[in-house]
Amino acid sequence: MVDVVTLDETRLPEAIAVMEQGIADIPLYRWLLGEYVEEKDKREWLAELFLKPLLRVGYALGGERDGRLVCVLTWQPHDVSVSPDGRPPLTPEDVELAVRSPGLRERLLELWTAPPLPTPIDDAVNCLFITATPEARGVRTMIEMMRTVEDFCREHHRPVYLWTGSPRLRDWFLTGWHGSQFATREWNGMTMYGLVSERPLTARAGQRV
């Protein structure tokens, strides 16, 4: 069991430490880091890049076990801005490491300038990233982490969507969350699967623990 809490900017170092452990398992991020994927500082940089804007607005969840952070989930409703106060979500300093890293620099530019992956429904909640430390991984942990998102979707009557290059995550979402596949995209030799839940996001009866 994990205790799910909303993370803020004071938890950034802990969240990075968890998130970097799962980055190499995600095909898109493995492609992005390329020859640097085994370098911990590069994985930590990428984790910070993704976490900072969502921590600021309260859409990063943490799972704690015995007072230690072991899981991280980031998500974003369609109507939540990551710049509510006008501050840019990222600064030039945030991408300095990539600028100094040949190959990574070009791939990051390609990722950010490519046409965005489609959204299946205008008001769908985007489930961006979920991972856990090796000892905390498992279906039960993932279900517990998703409950906050599920509660939000039930209250606001919204579905969830996600894009993944992992067939295992695709199959888990399709079977456990009344999901369907709405699109696929080929990206640098990998297949990306676009998945969407029913409205609202609700786990199948057998999925609850």
Averages of pLDDT over runs of 10 residues in the chain (209 residues) are 92 96 90 95 95 93 93 94 82 90 94 91 94 84 89 95 92 88 92 95 66
Contact predicate 164/183, CB 8 Å? no
Contact predicate 13/52, CB 8 Å? no
At 161, list the tokens.
């969507």
Q: Which domains does the chain have, with CATH numbers?
A: 3-79+89-157 (3.40.630.30)
pLDDT for the residue 44:
97
Phi, psi of 165 (to 5 degrees): -100, 10
Question: Which residue from 112, 57, 64 is spatially nearest to 82, judged by alpha carbons?
Answer: 57
The whole-model pTM stands at: 0.88
At 98, list the tokens.
């990539």
Contact predicate 153/160, CB 8 Å? yes
Query: Which residues lie below 8 Å from residue 131, measured CB to CB, with a gap of 6+?
Result: 18, 19, 21, 22, 23, 25, 71, 72
Report the distance separating Cα 177 and Cα 125, nearest Å.
14
pLDDT for the residue 182:
96
pLDDT for the residue 205:
59
